[in-house]
Structure 1
Amino acid sequence: MKRFPYIRWTIIGLFVGAMVINYLTRSILGVAAPAIMTEQNISSEQYSWITGAFQIGIMFQPVAGYLLDLIGLKTGFSLFVIVWSLITMAHGLVTGWMGFAALRGALGVVEGSGQPAGMKVVAEWFPARERGVAGGIYQIGASFGAVLAPPLVAWAVLNHSWRAAFFVAGGLGLIWVIAWLFWYAPPGRHRALSKGEHDLIVSGQEASLAKQRKRPPIGELLRRRNLWAIAGARFLADPVWGMLSLWMPLYLVQVRNFDLAQIAMFAWLPFLAADLGCLFGPAVVAWLQRRGVNLIDARRGAFTLGAVLMMGMMFVGTVDSPVAAVALLSLGGFAHQTLSVTVITMSSDLFPQDQVATATGVSGTAANLGVLIFTLVLGSLVDEVGYQPFFILLGLLDLLGAALLWTLVRKPA
C-alpha cells in the first residue's frame, strides 16, 4: 500500500466520526424529550431516572477502558460501536419510561468506551507536543454530535416520528465500523505508515509512558493521587454537560417557551460554542508553553481559565431575554470544553500507554457520577425551585476542580 505522510491525522479524523455518532446517539433523547414525555406521559422525575440510568451505565467506563487496554482498539472498539448502534436503534421500538431507562443504562455501558478509546488513540499515535491538539480535535466530535441532534430530531418529528431519529443514528454507527476495521491499526503495524512518521511519533513520546505490559496494573493505578485529582476535577465539571445535553431543551420549552422549530434553530448553538472550546483549550496550553510554562502547569492554567469563564452560567436564569439566555448557555458550552479537553488530555501526560485507557475510564466514571447526582437532584427539585439554583451551582463547581488540579497533581519525574 502507498505510504502517506500524515497517517496519524487520518486516524484521529476517523475517530472524530465515532465521537460524533457517540454523542449524537446520547443527545437525541434530550432533544426529543418534550415529544417523548408528552406521548409516553413521563414526568420530570421519571425522566431524571431515565437519564440517570445512562449515567449509571456509563460509570462502567473503567471496565471498558481495561478491555481496550487488554485487547486493543481495533477489535475492542469495533465491538463497542456495533453494540451501541443496535441499542440506539432499539430506542425506536420501546414504550414506557422503564423501557427507556433499561435501554439508556445498557447504552451507557457500551458508550462509555468512547473517551478511553479516544485517549488511547492520542497516547499511541501522537508525540507529546501534539496530544493537546489531537485531544481537542476528537472532542469536537462530541460537541458536533450534540449539534446534529436538534435538526435530526426536528426532521424526524416533522416527517416521521421521533423514533426515526434513533434508527438513523444507529445505522450511522454500523457504517462507521466498516471504515474503522479497514483503516485502523497500531503505529507499529499500520501498513501505510512511513518510517519518518513512525520515528516522529516514537521520538516525541516520553520513554517512561511508552512501556507496555500484558495487563494494565489496576492496583498500582488506583494508588496514584494524579488519578484522583483528574477524577475529582471531572466529577465537578461534567454536570454542565449533563445540563446542556439532557435538560437544556426542556428548560427552553418549559421556561423560555420555545417550540420545536425554535429548538432546532437555537439548541445547537451551545454545542457549536463547545466545538470552539475544544480548540481554544489546546491553543491556551500551546500559548503558555511558548512562554516557558511547563506542560502540566499549562494544562492547569487552561483549566482555570475555563473555570472562570464558566461563572457566566450563574446568570442564565436571571436574564429576561431568551437570546441572552442561549448566549450564556453557549458561553457555558465553550468554557466546559475548554477545561474538559484539557483535563481529559492530562491522562496521556501522566500515565503510561498501557494504563491510559483505564485511567481515562476511572476519571470518566467520576465525571458521570457527578452528572448522575446532578440530574437526579435536579429532576426531584426542579418543579419546586426552578432551574436558577442549579445554574448558580454549575457556575462555581469548576473553580473547585481547578483547586484540586493545582494542589494534588504531581508532575512526572
Structure 2
Amino acid sequence: MEKIQSYQLIIFTTMFIGYACYAYNRKSVSFAMPKLMEEGLSKNEAGLIASSQNLAYAISKFLGGILSDRISSKLLFSSGLVLSGLATLGFSGSGSLLAFAALWFINGFAQGAGWPSCAKVLRKWYSPDQFGTWWSILSASANISGGISPFVSAFLIVNYGWRFSLIIAGTISIVLGSISIFTIVNSPSDVGLQSGAEVDGKKNDGTDQQNQTATFVDLLRSPFLWLVSFSYMVVFCAKTSAVDWGQLFLIEDRGHSQYVGSAFTSSVESGGFFGGVIAGYLTDWVLKRSVKQGKKGRGNIRMPVAIAFMIGVMICLHLLQFFVSDTSSKFWITSIGFVLGACLYGPIAIFGVVATESAPSHLSGSCHAIVALAANVGAITSGLPFSYIAKHYNWAAIFLLLEIISGVTAAIMFVTRNLNSAIGHVKRD
C-alpha cells in the first residue's frame, strides 16, 4: 500500500505541475499581446494569432482523447508538453505574422494532449470512490496557473521584454515534459502493482473483460452519452458566457463600472475553483455511501449531484438578471458570481468524470473526447451567435435564455436519472 501511495504522489505531483504548465503556455502569448501590439501588431493580426490557437486546440482536444486510447499516456503527456514549449520558444524568436500564426497553431494542437492523458492515468491509479476528488484537484491546477501566471508574465515582460517571458515559459515546459517521461507510470501493472481501480475493474461482474470488444460506434449508440454531451454543452455555454459577457452585461445593461464587471468575472473563476473540488469530493462521498448501503442502480450515482448544481446555475442566473440593478453593491454582485462559478464548474468536473468512468477502460479517452467536443460546441455557441442576440436585444436576453436552457437541462437530467450509464458496454453474441 505504501509503495502504491508513493507512486501516486510522484505521478500526481508531476501531472499537477505539468498541467499547470500546459495552461501557462496556452496563455503566454495573450499576456504578451499588449507589447506585441505596441510594436505594430494590428487588432486583426492579433485576432488571427489567437484564432489559430483556438481552432487547433478544439481539434486536438477531440483527437487527443481518441489517441489516449491507443498510445502510452505518459508519452502523450510529455510529448505534448515538449511540443508546446518548442512552439513557444519558436514564437519568441519569430517576427512575421505567418510564423506567429503557424507556431501558435502548433502550440494549440499540442495542448490537446494534456488532459486526455491525465484522465487516463488517473483512472488507472485511483479507485472509483477516489477518482472524482483527484480529477477535480488536478483540473484545479489550471485555475491556480491562471491566477499566478499573469503576475509572473507581467514581471518578466516589464523587466526583460515579452520575448524573454516566452523563453521562460517554453523552457519550463520542455524541462517538465522531459522529466515527466520518467516520473509518470501509465498503470500500476507496469511496475508490478495492483491498485483499487484495477481490482474494481475486475469485479464488474466479468463485464470489463467482455466489453473489451466494444467499439467507438457503440459509444455513439449510448443514450446516456448523448445526455452527458448535451448537458456538458449547455453548462460550458453558460460558463463561457458568464466569463466573456458577464462584465458587459453589468456595464452596459446595469450601469456598473468596469471595475465591478472585472470583479464579477474574477469571482466566477474563484467560485469555479472551489466548485470543481467540492463536486469531486461530494460525488466520491455519495459513491462510497451507496456502496456501503449496497445500493445499485442503472443510473450514475454522480448525476444527482450534477442536477443540484444545474439548479443552482438557474437560480444564480435568475438573481443576476432580476435582482441586480445599478444600485446593487459590489459584494452582492460578486457573491452571485462566486456561487454561479461554483455551480458552473461543479457539473463541468462531474460530466468529465462520468464520461471517463462509465465507458470500458479501452474507450475511456474516446468517450471523454466526445463530450469535450460537445463542450466546445457550447463554447462556440456562446460567441458569435450570442453576440448576435445581444446586438438585436441586449445582454440580459442571453442570460434569460441561459436560465431557461439550464432549467430545461436540469429537468431532463432529473427525468432520465435512472438511464443506463454503462456507456459502450455491450453484449456480443
Shared fold (TM-score, shorter chain, > 0.5): yes
Amino acid at match of 2:257: R
Residue in 1 that maps onto 2:343: 335
- Tell me which amino acid in the other structure corresponds to 2:377: L
TM-score (norm 1): 0.79
Instruction: Describe how 1:318-397 pairs up with structure 2 within 5 A.
Output: 318-320=324-326, 321-322=329-330, 324-378=332-386, 387-397=395-405
Taking the aligned partners of 2:128 and 2:300, their CA distance within structure 1 comes to 15
* Whole-Å separation in 2 of the counterparts to 1:130 and 1:57: 29
Count of paired positions: 404
CA distance in 2, matches of 1:278, 1:203: 27
Aligned mates of 1:250, 1:97 — CA distance in 2: 30
% identity of equivalent residues? 17
Q: Is residue 49–residue 100 contact of structure 2 (8 Å, CA) maintained in 1?
A: no
Aligned residues of 1:48 and 1:375 also touching (Cα < 8 A): no
1:410 paired residue number: 420
Q: SS where residue 151 of structure 2 aligns?
A: helix
1:306 aligns with 2:309: yes
Structure number with the bigger relative contact order (C-alpha 8 A, sep ≥ 6) is: 1
CA distance in 1, matches of 2:21, 2:249: 24
Q: Secondary structure at the match of 2:69?
A: helix
Aligned to 1:203: 199
Question: How far is 1:372 from its partner?
Answer: 1.9
Q: Any stretches of 5+ residues in structure 1 without a counterpart?
A: none
Alignment of 1:13-412 (within 5 A): 13-28=13-28, 40-42=41-43, 47=47, 50-51=50-51, 54-55=54-55, 57-92=57-92, 103-161=103-161, 164-191=164-191, 195=193, 198-205=194-201, 206-207=203-204, 210-211=208-209, 217-243=215-241, 256-258=257-259, 269-289=267-287, 290=289, 296-311=299-314, 312-313=316-317, 318-320=324-326, 321-322=329-330, 324-378=332-386, 387-406=395-414, 407=416, 409-412=419-422
Give, as a single letter, the amino acid of the residue that structure 1 aligns with 2:119.
M
1:117 Cα deviation after fit: 1.7
Q: 1: distance between equivalents of 2:48 and 2:388?
A: 8
**Separation of aligned partners in 2, 1:12 and 1:400:** 37
Structure 1 counterpart SS, 2:302: helix
Name the aligned partner's letter for residue 256 of structure 1.
S
- Taking the aligned partners of 1:156 and 1:395, their CA distance within structure 2 comes to 42
Distance in 2, matches of 1:388 and 1:93, equals 44
Separation in structure 2 between the aligned mates of residue 49 and residue 400 of structure 1, nearest angstrom: 37
Q: Kindly state the Cα deviation for residue 304 of structure 1 after the two structures are TM-superposed.
A: 1.5
Contact 2:300–2:354 (CA<8 Å) still a contact in 1? no
TM-score normalised to the size of structure 2? 0.77
Quote how far apart the aligned CAs of 1:379 are. 5.6
Structure 2 unaligned regions, length at least 5: none
Q: What is the Cα deviation at residue 103 of structure 1?
A: 5.0
Alpha-carbon distance in 1 for matches of 2:190, 2:16: 19
Q: In the superposition, relative to structure 1, how do residues 396 and 7 fare at CA in structure 2: closer, same or farther (>3 Å)?
A: farther
Distance 1:29 1:383 in 2: 30
> How far apart are 1:84 and its partner, in Å?
2.0
Q: Is the 8 A contact 2:82 2:178 kept in 1?
A: no
Q: How far, CA to CA, are the matches of 1:360 and 1:375 in structure 2? A: 23
Deviation at 1:324, TM superposition (A): 4.4
User: Which of these two proteins has the greater Rg computed from alpha carbons?
Assistant: 2
> Which amino acid in structure 2 is aligned with residue 226 of structure 1?
F
**Preserved CA contact (<8 Å) 1:27 1:246:** no
How far off is 1:294 after superposition? 5.6
CA distance in 2, matches of 1:383, 1:37: 27
Partner secondary structure for residue 238 of structure 1: helix
Q: Secondary structure at the match of 1:176?
A: helix
Quickly say closer, same or farther: Cα 1:199–1:15, change in 2 above 3 A. Answer: closer
Paired residue type of 2:66: Y
Q: Which moved more, 1:212-221 or 1:82-91?
A: 212-221
Amino acid at match of 1:227: L
Which digits, 9 at most, give the CA deviation of each residue in 1:91-146, with x for residues without a partner?
A: 55667988766555443333222332222122211211111112112111222222
Which moves more between the two structures, 124-133 or 226-235? Answer: 226-235
Once the two structures are TM-superposed, the CA of residue 364 in structure 1 deviates from its matched residue by: 0.9
Structure 1, residues 305-363: CA drift from partner, whole Å, max 9, x if none?
22122232455574544554444333332222211111100023310111001111111
Q: Deviations over 1:276-314 (max 9, x none)?
A: 112210233244442657685431122112212223245
**Deviation at 1:237?**
1.7
Tell me if the contact between 1:51 and 1:246 (Cα under 8 Å) persists in the aligned partners. no
